[in-house]
Amino acid sequence: MKFKLAMCTLAALGSVYSAPAMDRWTALSMLETGNNDSVIGSCGEISRYQIRSELWPGGNPLDPKTALVIAKKVMHDRLNRFEQTHKRSATDFEFYVLWNAPAKVNHPTPCVVKRAQRFVNLVQRDESRLEVTASSGKTANPS
C-alpha cells in the first residue's frame, strides 16, 4: 500500500513539474532515435544520431561514445560556417536545422521546422517554465 501511495505521489508530481531540460546532444539523440543505437534510417543513417553513412569515418555506430564524438565532428564545421556567415552562434532551432538540413538553414521545410521546434522544446522546456514562475514569484522546482 505504501508503494502504491508513493507511486501515485510521484505521478502527481510528474504532472506538475516538467522534466529537466536536456543538452543539445541528448535531445538530438532522443529526437532522432529515442536513444536507440541500432536504428538505421531510410537513407542508411546510422547511430543514435542518424549520421549519413558517407559522413561516418569508421568505428562502431552502436557505441554511444563513438557516435557522440563523430556527431560533434560533423557539427563542428557546420557550426563554424554558420558563425562566420551570421556573426553569431546558432540558436537551438538553427542547431537542429543545421543537423538535419544544413543547406536549408535559412529556409527550412515545414517538416524540418516542426522537428526543430520539438528539439527546441526538449532543450529548453524547463528554462521557459522557470522564467514564467520567476515573474509570478512562485518556484517551479520541487526541491
- The domain that holds 127 is classified in CATH as 1.10.530.10
Please check whether residue 89 lies inside any domain of the structure: yes
Residues 6+ apart with CB under 8 A from 31: 96, 115, 118, 119, 122
pLDDT tens for 6-65 read: 434 334 434 334 556 689 999 999 999 999 999 999 999 999 999 999 999 999 999 999
> What is the domain count for the chain?
1
Q: Is the pTM here over 0.85, yes or no?
A: no
Please check whether residue 15 lies inside any domain of the structure: no
Please check whether residue 34 lies inside any domain of the structure: yes
Please check whether residue 27 lies inside any domain of the structure: yes
Is the distance from CB of 50 to CB of 33 less than 8 angstroms?
A: yes
Domain that holds residue 95: 22-136
The total of other beta-carbon atoms located within 10 Å of residue 17's CB is 14
Is the distance from CB of 79 to CB of 90 less than 8 angstroms?
A: yes
- Cell readout for 27 is 535531445
Give the DSSP H/E element, type plus range, for residue 36.
Answer: none
Please check whether residue 143 lies inside any domain of the structure: no
pLDDT tens for 91-116 read: 999 999 999 999 999 999 999 999 99
Please check whether residue 1 lies inside any domain of the structure: no
